[in-house]
Chain A
Amino acid sequence: MVPLIGLLAIAGICYYFYLRLIKQRNYALEALSSIDVQLKKRHDLVPNILKIAKKFMEHEDAVLTKVTQMRTISASDYDKTDPEEVAQHLEASKQLQSAMMNLFAVAENYPDLKSQDTMIRAQETYEEVEGHISAARRFYNSAVTELKNMVEIFPSSVIANMLGIKAMPYFEVDEAERKPVDASDYL
């Protein structure tokens, strides 16, 4: 009788950790989806900004092409359950953000473009979208921390290993991106 109770207790504990792991993984995936929702908004906004910018920045082909390339790469499909693909996807979105920051920095040298109502509105909308991306990133990182703790700390780490659940990569902001952009670097 005692061994049976012991076995049941162990099975119960295992099931509890299994439930928490699955729940946490789904939570992290949900957070990842919320990032994608916000990234999609940026993705949709970029062509409008490029269209306005192209009228004034005829000699900045390199900057504009970089944005277009990064936009295409960041929009490609990926497997959400594969941490490596997720990391690549997040890295691509960071590259797009970086390219956009360069674009706005270079745009500073075009007063006519800067004072365009449509450009001002587009930039405001872009900043709003970036605010939402930042919020989604914080949500995602918080969910990833919870999952990472479960995947790496015993005893849930054993069950995670058995189920093949892996920690997901953080969506971190590069130190370079935290610094203000110096427009002269791109002239």
Chain B
Amino acid sequence: MTIDDMRQTLHSFDGSGFKPLLDELEAKRQRAFKTFLGAVFICGFIVFFILLDQGGTELFKIAVGLSFVICMFFYRRMAVIRREAKRELMPALCHNIGLEYLMTPASHVIAPFDHLSIIPGYDEKTLEDQISGKIEDVDFQLFEAKLKRVSRDSKGRRSTTTVFNGFLVQFNFHKNFNGQTIITKDHTAIGNFLTGWTKLGERVKLEDSVFESEFEVYSTDQVEARYLLTPTFMERLLEFSRLPNIKQLQLAFKDGSIYMAIKRNGNAFEGGSYNLNDPEMIKQNIKDIAQIFDMVTELKLTQNTRI
């Protein structure tokens, strides 16, 4: 199946077979939502009553805490139903075009990215929505990652900061690279000086001034870096990095593969609609999956030379 065939098959996906299931799940979700609202109302009433009757006492604090836990319990039930819809829909969409889908990827899939300096250091990770397979002759694996850094203040209070939210993708080039080439965002002269020493290899100065102003390249092999980053490929990377849904692009070439860390807004493969039986939900998931094809076509990874 060519990439165009895959794209066409994906966009012409007939979701009517899922309608009864999605209707049923939507009905369940609505019941769960009503239960959640009821729980919020009852808990709120009780907390308000305690506040009026006893003021800000220990009992009030316990009631607030307990109410929060109860409300969260009912809220999570809605999330579970949403996940159930996703669990049914996403594999079908992916299998339809010969790809594999895994809702919760193994935690080790992020390991190759950990030492490439294309994702920031993190303490906690949430990985989901792994899609893998072959587009023409290019093997790939994509998953969504949310990486957080944990810090504590002087009083030991814990706080988390999201340092990365987006896709981590690996495309196999079927070519062996001797060295390692990393392309990161340009952090201006001072920033590059401060972060440069953490990168493996030497800085590669390239001829394309626009590319140079947006990216910093480090490589353990100066010739290979230029072999991979031909003027045409640099242009393609620039164009790809300017797609509207991409906040930041960093990539690396290592062991015959290209690794990409794509920062983006929001959560992918969740459907755009609140209602589970809204046809827009399937359409949004299709759009999200089609982004893989955009990567392949924008960077022309299916071409024989790929560079």
Residues of A within 8 A of B226 (CB): 134-136, 138-139
The 8 closest A-B pairs by CB, nearest first: A135-B227, A135-B226, A138-B226, A139-B222, A136-B223, A34-B223, A135-B223, A139-B223
Chain A residue nearest to B175 in the complex (CB): A128
1/0 per residue, CB under 8 A from A, across B191-230: the answer is 0000000000000011100000000000000111111001
Which of the residues B206, B222, B305, B307 comes within 8 Å of A31, measured between beta carbons?
Answer: B222
A134 contacts across to B, CB distance below 8 A: 226-227, 230
Is A157 interfacial (CB 8 A cutoff)?
no
Residues of A within 8 A of B206 (CB): 138, 142
Q: Given the complex, which residues of A lie within 8 Å of B227, measured CB to CB? A: 131-132, 134-135
A residues apposed to B, CB below 8 Å: 31, 34, 38, 127, 131-132, 134-136, 138-139, 142
Q: Is the interface of A mostly helix, strand, loop or mixed?
A: helix
**Nearest Cβ distance between residue A141 and chain B, in whole angstroms?**
8
Query: How far, in angstroms, from A139 to B227 measured CA to CA in the complex?
Result: 10
Residues of A within 8 A of B222 (CB): 31, 34, 139
Contact of A132 among B205, B207, B223, B305 (CB under 8 A): B223
Contact of A135 (CB < 8 Å), options: B205, B224, B305: B224
In the bound assembly, the distance between CA atoms of A34 and B226 in angstroms comes to 12
Residue from B207, B225, B307 within 8 A of A131 (CB atoms) = B307
CA distance A110 to B307 in the complex (A): 29
Mask: chain B, 225-254; 1 = CB below 8 Å from A; 0 = not? 111001000000000000000000000000
Residue of B nearest to A145 (CB): B205
Task: Check B207 against A38 for contact (C-beta < 8 Å).
Answer: no
In the bound complex, residues from chain A placing their C-beta under 8 Å from that of B224 are: 135
Contact B205 A142 (CB under 8 A): yes
The answer to whether B305 touches A131 (Cβ under 8 A) is yes
| Residues of chain A contacted by B307 (CB below 8 angstroms) | 131
A128 CA to B307 CA, complexed, in Å: 11
Chain A contacts for B305, CB-based, 8 A: 127, 131
Q: Which residues of B contact A127 (CB under 8 A)?
A: 305
* Bound Cα distance from A131 to B207, whole angstroms: 16
Q: How far is the CA of A139 from the CA of B205 in the complex (A)?
A: 8
Cβ–Cβ < 8 Å partners of A38 in chain B: 223
Question: Judging by beta carbons under 8 Å apart, are B207 and A142 in contact?
Answer: yes
**B223, B226, B227 — most chain A CB neighbours (10 Å):** B223
24 residue pairs A–B, Cβ–Cβ below 8 Å: A31-B222, A34-B222, A34-B223, A38-B223, A127-B305, A131-B227, A131-B230, A131-B307, A132-B223, A132-B227, A134-B226, A134-B227, A134-B230, A135-B224, A135-B225, A135-B226, A135-B227, A136-B223, A138-B206, A138-B207, A139-B222, A139-B223, A142-B205, A142-B207
Which chain B positions have C-beta within 8 A of A136? Answer: 223, 226
A67 to chain B, nearest CB (A): 24
A90 to B206, CA, bound (A): 21
Known contacts A134-B227, A135-B225, A135-B226; 13 additional CB pairs below 8 A are A34-B222, A34-B223, A38-B223, A131-B227, A131-B305, A132-B223, A134-B226, A135-B227, A135-B230, A136-B223, A139-B222, A139-B226, A142-B205
* Bound form: Cα–Cα A142–B225 in Å: 13
A residues in contact with B207, CB < 8 Å: 138, 142
Query: Which A residues are in CB contact (< 8 Å) with B230?
Result: 131, 134-135
* Shortest beta-carbon distance from B27 to chain A in Å: 59
Q: How far is the CA of A131 from the CA of B233 in the complex (A)?
A: 13
